[in-house]
Structure 1
Amino acid sequence: MIIMEDNFSTKLQDKTYIALGSFDGLHKGHMKLIKEAKKMAKDNKGKSMVLTFKDHPLNTINKEITPKILLDNPSKAKILEENEVDIINFINFDKECMELSPEDFIKNMLHYYNAGGFVVGFNYRFGYKNLGDIDLLKKMSQEFNFNLNVVSPVKYLNEVISSSKIRHILIDDGNVDKAKKMLGRNYFLKGNIVRGKQLGRKLGFPTVNLNYNTKYVLPRGGVYYTLIEYENKLYKGITNVGYNPTVEDKKLNIETHILDFHKDIYGEDIVIYFSKRIRDEKKFSSLEDLKHQLKKDKSFAKRQSM
């Protein structure tokens, strides 16, 4: 797969068939668009491309209201490569890009990327102030003779799947199981391990503390059954997202007890896949009560499938 960061300066020789969108979560709705772009490319003996922004456009327009991210760009590239996309292009949403008219946005892709067709979602908007819409795309497809596929929404339990919906489900509800149904995979966080207060070790439940990026969506505070990826191997885990109310910690921590794991991995990288919410965070009257609950949580985790 070719990874580009190109704002209409590189001319491509191969005919490309481009999926357009934010692709901020690569959820099931996004993956349907990508599947259709791959099919269009195959049918026309061209290359499939996913064109999206390097950073969320609101980072340029108004940082204060930029949503938390569900996926970073390296993770997007990895997922798209696994799905056999030919090209991903992360466009830089700068002032010039922001002021590009809808017509010029499409014309640039026809000229520079030799676009033979586009795949978009049912509510896709584009160009300066989002003035471009499906009607304009249909009109331009006839004028410039390119293929156009407008994909209908993908639903789960009669709800349209969207990144904002998934953010709400994770942040407000902590319903990681429902988020998984919409994403098509477990929601995950990644980062390196930093030293904590060592309280878990004293209780017989040693934990690792994730040094997380605050730009990411964090699931609602609570205790989760998780899968931990370390050195390409998966382990079962119990992850607490929160403030450890029993010991009155003021910093939000993401602490994980990894089952049947005894290595010292401070400074190393892990990925935490959130599989099921076990319970809310709770203040216990004693450390002994906390220890008793942790045994129950561990027993629950042991019974789960990988």
Structure 2
Amino acid sequence: MHMDIRRIQYPFTELHSVPPDGQVIAIGDFDGVHLGHREVISRAIERARSLGVPAAIMTFDPHPREVLGKAQYSRILTPIDEKMRLFAELGVDQVYIVHFTPELARVSPEDYYKNMLYPLKPRVIVVGFDFTFGHRGQGTAETLAKLAKAGESIEVIAPHNMDGEKISSTLIREQLHLGRLERVKSLLGRHYRIQGKVVKGEGRGRKIGYPTANLEPLDRYVIPRQGVYAVRVYLDGETLKGVMNIGIKPTFHEDEEQPPTLEVHILDRNEDLYGRTLEIEFAAYLRPEMKFSSVEMLIEQIAKDAQRAKQILA
């Protein structure tokens, strides 16, 4: 099934392109497309199928938090392209990506509804329990219900709890910062992944017999806790096994201030990947980054890490 993606801005004026019988729209930022988000989206798809109309998602780019200057949250779990891939896998028919701007942030809930939602002919609008919209997030699901015209209904999906905690992008970020990958996987419904391009590193890995690809993330991903990970590496349709180190390489550097580097050693392969794009899937956290008193001890530890990674990824 082909999913149509349209970038739109406020106010929405391309009325000729709206499905004549309307559509069901799920609205949200959906960063992470985690299990809580999936409930909102599946409910929208279910309602759309029963009404015989397309299932649509309205989401935002850039992330509203980035535009509103909340820098500590500007790191994301799923960049827009990955989000689209996940939406398509779920069976969504249409995505409207709203260009989020400081001007849009100032629009009142009433105007947002009138000029952005109503023109899309929503038959049903599905949102999460904590949904807000319009200036300073003054609009809520209740506001939507008041504004809804005849023939439209609003559905609010209750929080999705796991082990007594509500699933949220914030919780997933915290778990990544703690290196708790099992928990992250259970909240996301899949392993966490990031994409990056291989850039020139210091070339030290090759000298000690463990060549590594130095990865520069393609987006402002949430970077997991510093340490060593067992990872799967996706390269041009191939799935390879690897060990990734996220950190500052304390054996070689005194400077604590530098940003962490991401280096991946692909097991049983030795080729130059410079300039290639890799997708890294975090399978398990092996250990924190350590400072070794000699390079020999570091090499010995890397061999142990590689062995453990092989067992985990087998």
Return the TM-score normalized by structure 1. 0.94
Name the counterpart of 2:114: 107
Name the counterpart of 1:275: 283
Name the counterpart of 1:187: 192
- What are the Cα deviations for residues 207-239 of structure 1, in whole angstroms up to 9, with x where unaligned? 111012572211110001111000011111100
1:202 is the counterpart of 2:202: no
Give 1:76-87 correspondences, 5 Å limit: 76-87=83-94
| Equivalent residue for 2:175, pick from 169, 187, 191 | 169
- What are the Cα deviations for residues 21-69 of structure 1, in whole angstroms up to 9, with x where unaligned? 1111111111111101111110111111111111111332225444311
| Residues in 1 aligned to 2:99 and 2:301: alpha-carbon distance in whole angstroms | 48
The AA in structure 2 aligned to 1:105 is Y
Name the counterpart of 1:305: 313
- What are the Cα deviations for residues 251-278 of structure 1, in whole angstroms up to 9, with x where unaligned? 4210111112222211010011111100
- What are the Cα deviations for residues 75-134 of structure 1, in whole angstroms up to 9, with x where unaligned? 111111122211111101124422222123223345421111111111111111111112
Give 1:60-75 correspondences, 5 Å limit: 60-62=67-69, 64-75=71-82
| Residues in 1 aligned to 2:254 and 2:276: alpha-carbon distance in whole angstroms | 24
| Residues in 1 aligned to 2:93 and 2:219: alpha-carbon distance in whole angstroms | 31
The AA in structure 2 aligned to 1:278 is L
> Residue 194 of structure 2: SS of its match in structure 1?
strand
The AA in structure 1 aligned to 2:307 is S
Instruction: Flag the 1:160–1:200 CA change in 2: closer, same or farther, 3 A.
Output: same
1:120 is the counterpart of 2:120: no
1:31 is the counterpart of 2:38: yes
| Residues in 2 aligned to 1:244 and 1:305: alpha-carbon distance in whole angstroms | 24
| Residues in 2 aligned to 1:95 and 1:290: alpha-carbon distance in whole angstroms | 49
| Residues in 2 aligned to 1:245 and 1:94: alpha-carbon distance in whole angstroms | 41
1:9 is the counterpart of 2:13: yes
| Residues in 2 aligned to 1:65 and 1:106: alpha-carbon distance in whole angstroms | 29
RMSD: 1.7
1:248 is the counterpart of 2:253: yes
> Is contact 2:68-2:102 (8 Å) kept?
no
- What are the Cα deviations for residues 181-218 of structure 1, in whole angstroms up to 9, with x where unaligned? 11111111111111212222222211111012572211
> Residue 246 of structure 1: SS of its match in structure 2?
coil
| Residues in 1 aligned to 2:200 and 2:83: alpha-carbon distance in whole angstroms | 29
Q: Please state how far the C-alpha of 1:144 moved relative to its aligned partner.
A: 3.1
The AA in structure 2 aligned to 1:274 is F
Q: Please state how far the C-alpha of 1:147 moved relative to its aligned partner.
A: 2.1
| Residues in 1 aligned to 2:291 and 2:199: alpha-carbon distance in whole angstroms | 24
| Residues in 2 aligned to 1:110 and 1:156: alpha-carbon distance in whole angstroms | 32
> Is contact 2:243-2:266 (8 Å) kept?
yes
1:231 is the counterpart of 2:236: yes
| Residues in 2 aligned to 1:128 and 1:184: alpha-carbon distance in whole angstroms | 33
Ranges in structure 1 where 5+ consecutive residues have no aligned partner:
none
> Residue 23 of structure 1: SS of its match in structure 2?
coil
**4+ residue runs over 6 A deviation:** none
The AA in structure 2 aligned to 1:45 is G
> Is contact 1:110-1:116 (8 Å) kept?
no
| Equivalent residue for 2:225, pick from 195, 215, 220 | 220
1:157 is the counterpart of 2:163: yes
Percent identical:
35
| Residues in 2 aligned to 1:305 and 1:155: alpha-carbon distance in whole angstroms | 29
> Is contact 1:109-1:115 (8 Å) kept?
no
| Residues in 1 aligned to 2:51 and 2:116: alpha-carbon distance in whole angstroms | 17
> Is contact 2:141-2:154 (8 Å) kept?
no
> Residue 144 of structure 1: SS of its match in structure 2?
coil
Ranges in structure 2 where 5+ consecutive residues have no aligned partner:
none
Return the TM-score normalized by structure 2. 0.92
> Is contact 2:231-2:284 (8 Å) kept?
yes
> Is contact 2:4-2:94 (8 Å) kept?
yes
Number of corresponding residues: 304
